[in-house]
Amino acid sequence: MGRSVNYLDNAEVVLYFPFENEYNEEGEFDEFLSQMNWDDTVRNLQCEIRAKLPSYYDVKDEWDNRETRIILKNSLCVIGISEYCGLVSLSVAPRNNDYDAWHESFAVRHANQIKGTLEKVLNDLGLTNLRKIGTASNGEAFFQKA
């Protein structure tokens, strides 16, 4: 079975965009520059999302699973990011709340309402928004520009 980029469990919204690794003059992969580029991309996303959606705040060292890092949250939803082989997922999922029966429906609505804002953030940062158009029987996914 094939493998693809991960996203938050119970995600209501998943956006995809490519991430380019850095290479030195000899054409060899440069891990240091690639990590710096990745860290800058994540920080830029956090800043731009917080500017457009002020109810969200930064999260330090929190993970949804082994591969999806939670970067922002508010009282309704969490926003996570994951990367695999140059493909990045930015996902939004409702926060778990066992005490309020209405919480999940509000959170699902909120997640779907902010999808357009997140797409605009990706465009503003010069990131190409991709749409998943299908998955082959071996698990390989296919994307096109959104």
Q: Mean pLDDT over all residues of the chain?
A: 91
Question: Domain containing 58: what range?
Answer: 13-145
Question: How many folded domains does the chain comprise?
Answer: 1
pLDDT, tens only, 108-123: 999 999 999 999 999 9
Give the per-residue pLDDT at 72: 97
Question: Which residues touch 8 (CB under 8 Å, ≥6 apart)?
Answer: 64, 68, 70, 78, 80, 91, 92, 93
pLDDT at residue 1 above 80?
no
Q: How confident is the model at residue 125 (pLDDT cuts 50, 70, 90)?
A: very high
Give the per-residue pLDDT at 139: 78
pLDDT, tens only, 20-75: 888 888 888 888 898 999 999 999 999 999 999 999 999 988 998 889 999 999 99
Residue 138 lies in a domain: yes
Contacts within 8 Å (CB) and 24+ apart, 62-67: 64/8, 64/9, 64/93, 65/6, 65/9, 67/6
Residue 8 lies in a domain: no
Residue 47 lies in a domain: yes
SS3 20: coil
Give the per-residue pLDDT at 29: 85
- 19 or 139: which leads in pLDDT: 19
Residue 25 CB-density burial (10 A; 0-12 exposed, 13-18 middle, 19+ buried):
exposed
- Model pTM score: 0.91
Both structure tokens of 48: 């731009």
pLDDT, tens only, 92-108: 999 987 777 788 889 99
Q: 114: which DSSP letter? A: T
Residue 4 lies in a domain: no
Residue 1 lies in a domain: no
Residue 5 lies in a domain: no
Distance CA 130, CA 132 (A): 7
